[in-house]
Amino acid sequence: MYDRVTLDDVEERDVEGIEPGLLAVGYHLRPGKMRQSVWQFDAGESNNWHRQREQEELYVVLDGTFEVTVGSDEGAKNGPGHDPDGDGADGTPETFEIARGDFLVVPPESWRQVTAREPATLLVVGAPNVKDDGVLPGES
């Protein structure tokens, strides 16, 4: 009928190559159509610059403040600050701030990265429920 878990009952996991700590709430809830995780960041920590193959992602700031960088096409795959001709028209990533109570949706094809400006917690919900959907620069 339903599943329920409290963050205090979820053990933090380390993910190789990723700085923030992962609270894999989806592992406990086992939803069929979405994939959710809670990430705990120390000040200055970032996730990897990436996009998704299939998942649209919803980001909800539970605590703290993040700097978010999002780029929407092939020009963005090289990461924040990359604009070879300086005109901003070739997918140059946009950077903005999100804070406690903010919601953000990013489509699968958009490159993205979040960096905590202070200790912060982020709920990320992806759909459809696809394992290992992230794509790093240089991967297809």
Q: Tens digit of pLDDT for each residue in 17-41?
A: 777 888 888 888 989 999 999 999 9
DSSP β-ladder status, 65-71 and 103-106:
unpaired
| Interval 93-139: pLDDT, tens | 999 999 999 999 999 999 999 999 999 999 999 999 998 899 999 88
As a whole number of angstroms, the distance between CA 70 and CA 6 comes to 31
* Residues forming a β-bridge with 50: 112
Distance of CA 132 to the CA centre of its chain: 13
Q: Could you tell me the domains of the chain?
A: 7-135 (2.60.120.10)
pTM above 0.85, yes or no: no
Q: Using 50, 70 and 90 to split pLDDT, how confident is the model at 77?
A: low
Indicate if the pLDDT at residue 63 is higher than 80: yes
